[in-house]
Chains A and B, each alone.
Chain A
Amino acid sequence: MGTTVVTTETIVKAGPDLGSGGGNGFRGNGGRGPDRIQRDQYQPEKYRIGMWAALASIMMLFVALTSAYIFRYKWRGQDGGTDWVALTMPRVLWLNTVVILLSSLTVDIARRAFSSGAYGRFKRYMSLSTMLGGVFLVGQFIAFKSLVAQGIFMRSNPHSSFFYLLTGLHGLHLIGGIAAMCFVTLKGIRRQFEEGRAAAVEITALYWHFMDGLWVYLFLLLFFWK
């Protein structure tokens, strides 16, 4: 029990420091550590597991909406109306697709830079990715505006409804990703970097890749399926 006392002191001292460091994940060790000292060590696993779980649930959201999309497409005209009017794709979406693919690339460069110790390079590429994310959102906004200018709204027809809904939800999730990228670029990362803690960067990159893949999927679904 002697170690326990020491442990507690360590924690009390370490507490505020760890706190200012941002995300340290010091609770939990996947059933491996023998006592509190190890238990309080940096545990990246839980962030990875948590992120995979989150991605699974986001995936289910879009799976559900995809089924609705296909179901609704097959249903069109069932009750006499031929209401499904396919949108002409706003051209800016091509550009957007390139931008988000590019951002996935830069995020991955940043992630590798972080783990190989090139902090400056990490910072440059992460900032670049954040900017590309922003550019993508602006591009989406332009696409929306061009559709609105043609008089195509959410309510106009099922294809436009699904277009606004799916890209809007993707955009919302993307904003979360951009916030995470700002966070890892700007705040409290220096210290994590020094301690070799890559979880925040890794799960941010993972999330961003997922958003990238999701976009490509939605792009194909909305404009190239059938």
Chain B
Amino acid sequence: MGKALGLLLWIITAAAVWMFAVKKWWFPESITEHGSLVDAQFMRTLFVVAAAFVLAQVALGFVVFRFGGGKQGAATYSHGSNKLEVTWTLITAAVFVTLGVLGQQVWASLHFHDAPAGSLTIEVTAQQFAWNFRYAGADGVLGKTDPKLMNDSTGNPLGRDSKDPAGDDDIVASTITVPANRPVKLILKSKDVIHSFFVPNLRFKQDLVPGMSINVHFTPMKPGHYELACAELCGAGHYKMKSYMDVLPEDDFEKWLKDKGTGK
């Protein structure tokens, strides 16, 4: 019995390690500056965690294998060892705290600084179960909105106040288009319940909370067509609250913005 259980523990450990090692199922490609840092931190953590996991499971398998035979003499009579306790407490504490401190760097770079100058600002308003992305247009100013004017059926989901001329050149889209290599600042809002802005390729996620306006920023690097998902349960249609993020080369983006601005 002991040998069988020991072997099973080792097999399960090996299977788990295999799953993480083959990378057949892995992160989608990272397309942001901070994304590669997140991935690096993940790999660092994976290394430590895998070591702890394998050591513990293999040791468990070993003791079960070795001391489960039933044929050896009496069990060792021991109440433990304070020296050992202190040793492994200090070692784990040092490793875990180091890991924790390292993990804060990316976070700090994203959240402890305002968006860099020259960022493109986009207002993101989530609603059940769609996304609205608003660009300020040529004047660089977002038009006034009033919740009382919100009306999904007449095509004014954001409640744009037509009396404000600043809003005349605003661009509203249901997918988000951004330039490559330029910092993007998002102003995140929600009309109804909590949603969450999640583009796996960005290595970025942030809740959109009604009653709050949350500013975030990141810099996409690689042009492409990426999927955007809602990551906070928002109702029956949560699973299909899908949109896209298009990252265009700077020139193409300017062209897109111009076409959008004049085309409406």
Contact = CB atoms under 8 A, between A and B. Distances in A.
- Asked if the two chains touch in their complex, CB atoms less than 8 Å apart, one says yes
Interface of A: 78-79
B211 interface: yes
Contacts of A79: 210-212
B194 to A, nearest CB: 14
Interface residues on B, range: under 10
Interface of B: 210-212
A78 B210 CA distance: 11
Enumerate the 5 nearest inter-chain pairs by beta-carbon distance, A residue then B residue, closest first: A79-B211, A78-B211, A78-B212, A79-B212, A79-B210
A139 to B, nearest CB: 37
Contacts, number: 5
A25 to B, nearest CB: 36
A93 to B, nearest CB: 32
5 contacts: A78-B211, A78-B212, A79-B210, A79-B211, A79-B212
Chain B interface main SS type: loop
Contacts of B212: 78-79
A74 to B, nearest CB: 13
A83 to B, nearest CB: 11
A79 B190 CA distance: 11
Nearest to B147: A80
Nearest to A75: B211
Contacts of B210: 79
A79 B191 CA distance: 12
B161 to A, nearest CB: 14
Contacts of A78: 211-212
A79 B211 CA distance: 5
B89 to A, nearest CB: 30
A25 B124 CA distance: 64
Nearest to A79: B211
Contacts of B211: 78-79
A137 B27 CA distance: 62
A78 B212 CA distance: 7
B214 to A, nearest CB: 12
B190 to A, nearest CB: 11
A74 B100 CA distance: 31
A102 B117 CA distance: 64
B121 to A, nearest CB: 20
B158 to A, nearest CB: 15
A77 to B, nearest CB: 10
A78 B211 CA distance: 7
A129 B260 CA distance: 77
A154 B212 CA distance: 25
A98 B194 CA distance: 46
A79 B210 CA distance: 8
Nearest to B210: A79
Nearest to B211: A79
A72 to B, nearest CB: 12
A79 B214 CA distance: 12
Nearest to A78: B211
